[in-house]
Amino acid sequence: MEEEVLVVPADVLFRSGEWFGLHTDVAAFQRILGDAQFLEYRPRSIVETDPSVKQLIPYAILRRAKEIFAYRRGKAGGENRLHDLWSIGVGGHICRDDGDVGETAYQTGFLRELDEEVSITGPFEQRIIGLLYDPRTPVGSVHVGVVHVVDLQGAVKARDTSLADAEFRTINSLLKDRERLETWSQFVIDPLADGRL
């Protein structure tokens, strides 16, 4: 059976106007997430090329003191359009197996994706701090990243083989490599550097 992923209609998400980059109106997003009438599951093969709906992608930034977990997207990853770019976000699609549409399914899917991609030693705290959107590319036009900052003290180890060269890096080193970062990571690196996130 084909994978079905969680989407929100673009006209609902952008009811107050389309935005670009990092958008920090979390309250508006939480209202959408809390109302099942705005969300649905659709076949992934169809929505990958349909910008009238946006796939919600948890994008977890793992922060330990002043370092950020970063990795290069390897060829084992599912999204060919992102190979060899560096990322500071882990996560993936929310799917029907995560439960009925809504906040509980989203949270279940977020934790499942986090566990599939990395192993975290010790407790952590997480919060949603914004949304990411970049319609300039085919992949960006059909996905919206939900940015979670995950603060932790323990170790992190990549489980997913597509997370190549994974390690904690200083924000300054990531800023120097800005051109090698995927777009979503570029959008959040400055607010991380200046303490806004």
pLDDT at 45 over 80: yes
pLDDT at 38 over 80: yes
Contact 61, 114 (CB under 8 A): no
Contact 164, 71 (CB under 8 A): yes
pLDDT confidence of residue 136: 93
pLDDT confidence of residue 103: 87
Structure-block tokens of residue 133: 């959107």
pLDDT at 126 over 70: yes
Give the list of residues 6+ apart from residue 187 with CB closer than 8 angstroms, or none: 21, 22, 132, 134
Number of domains in the chain: 1
pLDDT confidence of residue 77: 47
Distance of CA 188 to the CA centre of its chain: 11
pLDDT at 76 over 60: no
pTM for the model stands at 0.92
pLDDT confidence of residue 196: 80
Find the domain containing 35 and state its range: 4-193
Segment 98-119, tens digit of pLDDT: 999 888 999 999 999 999 999 9
Contact 118, 157 (CB under 8 A): yes
Which CATH number does the domain housing residue 118 bear?
3.90.79.10
> pLDDT category, 152, cuts 50, 70, 90?
very high
